[in-house]
Structure 1
Amino acid sequence: MGRKLPPFAAVRAFEAVARLLNVKAAADELCLSASAVSHQLRALEEYFDTALFERRGNKLSLTLTGRAYSEKMTTLLNSFDESTRSIREAGHRPFRVLCTPGFVARWLVPRLDRLSFGDRVRLRVSDGAPSLDFASNEADLVIQWTDAPASGVVTEPLMQSARYPVISPALKVKEAVDSPEDLCRLTLLHDETMDAWKTWFHSAGITPPVFPRGPTFPNCELATTAAERGQGVSLAYDAIVRATLAEGRLVRLFDTVVMPFVIYSVAYPQARAEDPMIREFSDWVHDEVAREDVAATSRSVESLTR
């Protein structure tokens, strides 16, 4: 059966008036005259044979039918707009990614040249939990902390990681750190987002010292940076600091870990789920994480067989 659709011009005029509740404002937005918009509204009401608005003097309000229809049409037209722009602008528009500082500095930037359109990526760093309000965050995609869901947003768990203590090589030698008990006398660097030192000490079978034993930072990246500078011991995420350890800027302490959990996920508007750049970027970061996990597992097996 063929689709039975109302005139698109009438639907577009209705959605604008329903959203603004003002014929003149809607006419200005659509670059039409107020009389033309009013004509489109009457045509749509005649098409449905029902009232979509209540008119009391100069005041305009939606009927129950009009309100239900307007919500669906706004969602539909937003999706239509996003899909159209994604096709028209693909190939030359920038791709805006909002991330946490640690993910950008230690994971994303070192790999960005492997993304086919990496030169067009515009990175923005959030000073707290990245906003998932895509109407205001000026982002195409967000790498968010953990995997909390949000209405109208697709959330794809990306990376899980264990945590373990890390220290600068110089401080390890200076303080002669040889056993987990040695940490009870050192400065510990805390992360106010998700501090897990007590959990780590319990896992190591040690009674935790009185906290805090050192400064508390707003996020794990600042705590890890302070550890690099020899200011204390940080509880770092393995998935984020592997390259830093390989470069010798930090040293892992002991085998005890805080068990893995999801630390990052990819989030983007549900209305743009088929946007080619979102799809390619999301597939790329998932592939990079999987590739690195395979490499890390291979290194662990190799070390055990030596």
Structure 2
Amino acid sequence: MTRKLPPLAAVRAFEAAARKGSIKDAAQELCLTASAVSHQIRALENYLDTALFTRSGNRVELTLTGRAYARKLTALLDLFDETTRSVKEAGQKPFRVHCTPGFAARWLVPRLRQLAFGDRVRISVSNGAPSTDFASNGADVVIQWADAHIPGVVTEPLMQSARYPVASPALKEREKLREPQDLRRTTLMHDETMDAWEEWFEAAEIAPPAFPKGPTFPNCELATTAAEMGQGVALAYDAVVRGTLENGTLVRLFDTVTMPFVIYSVAYSVARKNDPMVREFSDWLHAQVQADGVSARRDLASSLASQE
């Protein structure tokens, strides 16, 4: 298909005048004379065969058609500018990812060497839910907890997971944890974010112990780390601790699991949805979790449709 596009110089002159509400101010922004800007706008009107401004002496005012056209052009030129910057700076600019400590330490960092631009990824972590205010968080992508929709943000469900008890091999032997009932007499690590021990005991069809019997941590990563140190049993997310189980610093206890749900999503500004590095990073994440068998891809289409 052959595109029929108006002259870019005329488009820029019109969009600046419409946004500034002034031919003179547009001329200053574009480093042109006011007459040059007026000439470009008239050239665009001739190209479109429609009036974009009404003129009365030195005053100009957008027509209804001009107002609608300007609104769309501003969004397109902003995207054009941001996309161009991302390509121009792709070889220099670090790619900033904001996520939880558990996702960073147990899932993302061990895999970064498999990402084409992994050496340029800069990771920041948050104790609570990472901020998705892209105007102030300094991030290109946020690995968001769960999959809540946020206006102005694209949220792609990434991975889902059930939870099960884990412990250090030494604690398992010391406490003689042979059956699910044995957890009623040992120290359990609790999680302020989403403690699910009652759900697990219910799934195991066992009466839970009196809660809390054990320390409470602000997030699941600290609870899991405490379990690695032999301080008790944590309720870990399968999708996050698989690597830790392979390393042998933790062992899984029993077959009972909680109901799986989406635990992490890829989030980024709507304005960045066509950014090549954002797309490559997101596609890489999805490919990794699909290979692990914990993908939430089947939830992605409906989630994105609800954000249109």
Q: CA deviation at 1:136?
A: 2.3
> RMSD of the alignment, in Å?
3.6
Letter in 1 for 2:123: L
Identity within the alignment, %: 70
Matched residue, 2:292: 292
State the aligned residue count.
Answer: 291
Is the alpha carbon distance of 1:207 and 1:274 closer, same or farther for their aligned partners in structure 2, counting shifts above 3 Å?
same
Is the alpha carbon distance of 1:75 and 1:172 closer, same or farther for their aligned partners in structure 2, counting shifts above 3 Å?
same
Letter in 2 for 1:147: D
The 1-side partners of 2:124 and 2:19 are apart by 31
Q: CA deviation at 1:208?
A: 2.1
Matched residue, 2:219: 219
The 2-side partners of 1:133 and 1:41 are apart by 37
Q: CA deviation at 1:213?
A: 2.4
Unaligned runs of 5+ in 2: 56-60, 295-308
Deviations 1:7-61 (A, max 9, x none): 75575466567767899987776567899889989999999646699xxxxxxx9
The 2-side partners of 1:113 and 1:66 are apart by 50
Verify the 8 A CA contact 2:23 2:34 in the aligned structure 1.
yes
The 1-side partners of 2:128 and 2:66 are apart by 39
Verify the 8 A CA contact 1:79 1:271 in the aligned structure 2.
yes
Deviations 1:96-134 (A, max 9, x none): 212111111001111111111111111121232222232
Q: CA deviation at 1:245?
A: 1.2
Normalized against structure 1, the TM-score is what? 0.77
The 2-side partners of 1:192 and 1:52 are apart by 61
Deviations 1:47-97 (A, max 9, x none): 9646699xxxxxxx9998887655434322221112211222233332121
Verify the 8 A CA contact 1:52 1:65 in the aligned structure 2.
no
Verify the 8 A CA contact 2:156 2:266 in the aligned structure 1.
yes
SS at match of 1:235: strand
The 1-side partners of 2:197 and 2:62 are apart by 55
The 1-side partners of 2:2 and 2:247 are apart by 63
Verify the 8 A CA contact 1:52 1:66 in the aligned structure 2.
no
SS at match of 1:259: coil
The 2-side partners of 1:24 and 1:212 are apart by 69
The 2-side partners of 1:52 and 1:231 are apart by 75
Verify the 8 A CA contact 2:93 2:120 in the aligned structure 1.
yes
Q: Which moved more, 1:258-267 or 1:268-277?
A: 268-277
Verify the 8 A CA contact 2:144 2:266 in the aligned structure 1.
yes
Unaligned runs of 5+ in 1: 54-60, 295-306
Is the alpha carbon distance of 1:202 and 1:291 closer, same or farther for their aligned partners in structure 2, counting shifts above 3 Å?
same
Normalized against structure 2, the TM-score is what? 0.77
